[in-house]
Structure 1
Amino acid sequence: MSQAPTSDRPSAPAGPLAGVRIIDLTSVMMGPYATMILGDYGADVIKVESPDGDVMRHAAPMRHPAMGAMYLQGNRNKRSIVLDLKKAGGRAAVLRLAAAADVFVHNVRPAAVARLKLGADDLLAINPRLVYASLHGFGETGPYAGRPAYDDLIQGLTALPALTGSITGEPRYSPATMADRIVGLNAVHAILAALFHRERTGEGQAIEIPMFETMAQFVLGDHMAGRSFEPPIGPPGYSRLLSPDRRPYQTSDGYICALVYSDKQWNAFFAKIGLADEAGRDPRLNSISARTRNYDFVYDWFSQMMKTRSTAEWMRFFEEADIPHAPLHDLDGLIDDPHLAAVGLIQSLEHPTEGTLRVAGPVATWSRTPPSIRTYPPNLGEHGREILREAGLAETEIAALIAEGALIEPGSC
């Protein structure tokens, strides 16, 4: 694998991907989230940006232009270079970078990649060991190939708003970039598997991670239901997830999250509320098989029961009965959660222009090669000259790229 450059930045654990170099032509959230995780694992991620920069740089709130909070939360452990790929010199510079890289990842629409002559065949011809990863909206063999795709559209296509609407009466998108992040996670493991294959065989390859198909697999794993069979034995949809009273439960003074699931848990619950005698209960509550056939009744009954006591009472009750439960957080509650504080999920890093930043750091624990936050999210084009020097370009070549407008330096974007 190619060797990541040395620098005078603060030292940190190298991580399991130390020495892997990634050329990152992604923007918005799906691709940057994937490459951020690979960067956390130790890869040297070179973020190639357009003169306008990643669009998420401009998403408020921000302290300074082009340094929006969403950008800052998804682009640590990367270096930024601004290249105009429509200029001959910009394309040539990307080819120089790709020739010495391990991974090339982009979420550019296929037609645009073809116009730039930066497709898989172009890059694998100059670097046969390259893992070339394309993050597209849709697979290239289907009728939706080449269409634009964003998180909201993919959520809609994969029935998530419709499922919400079947419960609430109004279709709504998830208030998180669910599709982008789920597909980004799938891209991470696809790239890692391709690198593993490359280490065994020496072969690079092209891989495509389509948003629609990835999210369809994610949703249908829960909701194929009766259409899992041919011919179908019932409609699609997992009834437990679609029950209208499966939600945070209202108590006498607030809300609580709880899940009484197994027979053991239900028996402990019944004992606590004075219904230990099975004969005194509705038979739809008396076994796991009966409850799974009557989710709507069970969740409605449980939600009415929850209104009879305060949140604090139920929290103590569930703790004593060893029943899974949790408070209902808002965003501030989540950020300030004492468990997250104890495990150190929210980390602080110093940024030369943005001051102290708080970010959700890597989550897995490793005994030998832990992921880490080594560098702050870069300013636009901050490392252009550095990156090109490492690729072997002479100062005269770099000056020519600047003169052409192919390389754009900080302050001129």
Structure 2
Amino acid sequence: MTGSQCGRVLHVVSGCSVQFLHRHNGGRCSLVTRKFLTTASHQSERRSPLEGIRILDLTRVLAGPYCTMLFADLGADVIKVERPGAGDDTRSWGPPFKGTESAYFLSVNRNKKSIGVDLKTPKGAEIVKQLAGSCDVLIENYLPGKLGEMGLGYDDMKALVPRLVYCSISGYGQTGPYRSRAGYDVIASGVGGLMNITGPRDGDPCKVGVAMTDLSTGLYAFGATMVALHHRQQTGCGQYIDCNLLSTQVASLVNIASNYLNAGVEGKRHGTAHESIVPYQAFKTKDGEYMLVGAGNDKQFQLLCKRMDLPELLEDERFQQNKVRVANRDVLLPLIANRFETKTSSQWMQVLEGSGIPYGPVNNMQEVFSDPQVVHNGMIQEVQHPTAGTIRFPGPAVRYSLSQTVMPRPPPTLGQHTQEVLQGILGYSDMQLKQLIEAGVVQ
């Protein structure tokens, strides 16, 4: 399909196959058949659900690489384009390092291929255009307009590849007064209200321990791209997606935003406590550790009081419904806190076991990755890296009954797959590749 028009796609369903009748420009049609799994005929067949999808990854740092890693885990062929000689910024974000690789880079770049291409050179930009022609999706997180200056913006790509799904991730959006600002997680979390509601009740604003605004944006970008791929399957048309950290953060304020927009209640810092549920927070125990408990309804509060041997709280009118517990939190919480300090965390775990009350410890990293449920869920993956040796990382969070994530492959070294991609996909000769390397266009 050439030009800027999109073809039409008709669906003919037959058993576990769908035939796509694609009408090209000029009226010519071609019939493409894709097979889909059904529980009736493929109970035993398990495959990665995104096999056959190719992603051109022009992202670095966290939000974009996290998004593309989700695609890679599900079987998509992800080609990560990096700067020759430097690569993704996070390659130097350490210590700690594992061998020559930063632990940060290793965390979000598994199952990808790396090619080193200098986009600022005409030939480098041409390579990206050629690769886009063989890809389903392009994901980038440059400053708005920057790729357009190189001839790699959406309008440029749409003219060449109308079926391409093009996803841009930025700090504040492609238009508007902040479009030219650099976007980092901690800044967006401040502008978007998260930091103002995070931290001790009477303390300073705090950042979340991991970059949740970046990660949430990566998740939004992944979901949006999947929607666009579904739309293309129905229509034959690619489209442009605008994801940004600020909009993600504002959308993620959920109940705190609703409290303000609908009731005029300003968000506040509550430490580990909850704006609208009491008790629902961490309490210090006898051994100096912390236990989390939550009473999401009145029945759970009653169970908590019984398990903690606090029957007097059950008769107090100030605590019998959640709305009055919220109003009287300053009276109730010290009573519960004092009781928690009479036993160790392990003792409280035994007391609360099987109660139906949400509870758990505040774990450090060693405790997280030795937790029996974490181990049971298969959340630790181990692979061999060509320079770092044995590396481990948290595995995918989701399981499927008929599909599976790919067997994990190590994050790539810089330019590890340049030859494979340029020769295997674009058909470059040995001489062409040699000339590009010598000119510094690729690594």
TM, length-normalised to structure 2? 0.83
Counterparts of 1:350-389 in structure 2, within 5 Å, are 350-389=384-423
1:259 is aligned to 294
Out of 355, 358, 380, the residue aligned to residue 324 of structure 1 is 358
Counterparts of 1:324-343 in structure 2, within 5 Å, are 324-343=358-377
1:346 is aligned to 380
Question: Displacement of 1:14 after TM fit?
Answer: 4.5
Out of 57, 73, 88, the residue aligned to residue 24 of structure 1 is 57
Question: Displacement of 1:76 after TM fit?
Answer: 0.7
1:372 counterpart SS class? coil
1:132 is aligned to 166
Determine if the alignment matches structure 1 residue 107 to structure 2 residue 129.
Answer: no
Question: Displacement of 1:176 after TM fit?
Answer: 0.7
Deviations 1:130-163 (A, max 9, x none): 0000001112232111210111111111222222
Measure the CA separation in 2 of the matches of 1:23 and 1:395: 23
Question: Displacement of 1:235 after TM fit?
Answer: 3.5
1:399 is aligned to 434
Instruction: Could you tell me which runs of 5 or more consecutive residues in structure 1 were left unpaired when the two chains were aligned.
Output: 3-12, 409-413
Letter in 2 for 1:235: E
Q: Which moved more, 1:167-176 or 1:183-192?
A: 167-176
Out of 235, 239, 242, the residue aligned to residue 208 of structure 1 is 242
1:87 is aligned to 121
Letter in 2 for 1:143: P
Deviations 1:328-373 (A, max 9, x none): 2011111221211122110111112211111111121112221124
Given that residues 34 and 188 in structure 1 are in contact (C-alpha distance below 8 angstroms), is that contact kept between their aligned partners in structure 2?
Answer: yes
Out of 95, 115, 132, the residue aligned to residue 98 of structure 1 is 132
1:326 counterpart SS class? strand
Measure the CA separation in 1 of the matches of 2:330 and 2:285: 19
Counterparts of 1:35-54 in structure 2, within 5 Å, are 35-51=68-84, 52-54=86-88
Letter in 2 for 1:300: P
Given that residues 224 and 237 in structure 1 are in contact (C-alpha distance below 8 angstroms), is that contact kept between their aligned partners in structure 2?
Answer: no
* Cα distance change on mapping 1:268 and 1:89 into 2, 3 Å: same
Measure the CA separation in 1 of the matches of 2:279 and 2:233: 50
1:185 is aligned to 219
2:116 counterpart SS class? strand
1:63 is aligned to 98
Letter in 2 for 1:33: Y
Instruction: Could you tell me which runs of 5 or more consecutive residues in structure 2 were left unpaired when the two chains were aligned.
Output: 1-19, 21-31, 33-45
* Cα distance change on mapping 1:112 and 1:276 into 2, 3 Å: same
Measure the CA separation in 1 of the matches of 2:333 and 2:137: 48
* Cα distance change on mapping 1:341 and 1:268 into 2, 3 Å: same
1:104 counterpart SS class? strand
Question: Displacement of 1:127 after TM fit?
Answer: 0.6
Measure the CA separation in 1 of the matches of 2:74 and 2:211: 22
* Amino-acid identity (%): 34
Given that residues 136 and 211 in structure 1 are in contact (C-alpha distance below 8 angstroms), is that contact kept between their aligned partners in structure 2?
Answer: yes
What is the total number of aligned residue pairs between the two structures? 394
1:241 counterpart SS class? coil
Letter in 1 for 2:432: E
Question: Displacement of 1:198 after TM fit?
Answer: 0.6
Measure the CA separation in 1 of the matches of 2:165 and 2:99: 35
Given that residues 245 and 300 in structure 1 are in contact (C-alpha distance below 8 angstroms), is that contact kept between their aligned partners in structure 2?
Answer: no
Deviations 1:234-278 (A, max 9, x none): 434598625898642111223211112322222222333455467
Letter in 2 for 1:107: N
Letter in 1 for 2:260: R
Given that residues 196 and 268 in structure 2 are in contact (C-alpha distance below 8 angstroms), is that contact kept between their aligned partners in structure 1?
Answer: no
* Cα distance change on mapping 1:184 and 1:306 into 2, 3 Å: same
1:348 counterpart SS class? strand
Letter in 2 for 1:44: D
* Cα distance change on mapping 1:313 and 1:89 into 2, 3 Å: same
Question: Displacement of 1:226 after TM fit?
Answer: 4.1
1:141 counterpart SS class? coil
Given that residues 197 and 267 in structure 2 are in contact (C-alpha distance below 8 angstroms), is that contact kept between their aligned partners in structure 1?
Answer: no
Measure the CA separation in 2 of the matches of 1:374 and 1:245: 41
Given that residues 379 and 397 in structure 2 are in contact (C-alpha distance below 8 angstroms), is that contact kept between their aligned partners in structure 1?
Answer: yes
Out of 295, 298, 305, the residue aligned to residue 270 of structure 1 is 305
Deviations 1:4-57 (A, max 9, x none): xxxxxxxxx741100000000100011101100100011000000012100111
Given that residues 114 and 415 in structure 2 are in contact (C-alpha distance below 8 angstroms), is that contact kept between their aligned partners in structure 1?
Answer: yes
Measure the CA separation in 2 of the matches of 1:238 and 1:56: 31
Measure the CA separation in 2 of the matches of 1:358 and 1:72: 9
Given that residues 280 and 294 in structure 2 are in contact (C-alpha distance below 8 angstroms), is that contact kept between their aligned partners in structure 1?
Answer: no
Deviations 1:188-230 (A, max 9, x none): 10111111111111000111101111111102x121244323x
Measure the CA separation in 1 of the matches of 2:269 and 2:396: 32
2:61 counterpart SS class? coil
Letter in 1 for 2:205: P
Out of 156, 160, 184, the residue aligned to residue 190 of structure 2 is 156
Determine if the alignment matches structure 1 residue 174 to structure 2 residue 225.
Answer: no
Letter in 2 for 1:357: I
* Cα distance change on mapping 1:304 and 1:134 into 2, 3 Å: same
TM, length-normalised to structure 1? 0.89
Measure the CA separation in 2 of the matches of 1:271 and 1:63: 50
1:146 is aligned to 180
Measure the CA separation in 2 of the matches of 1:300 and 1:312: 21
Letter in 1 for 2:366: D
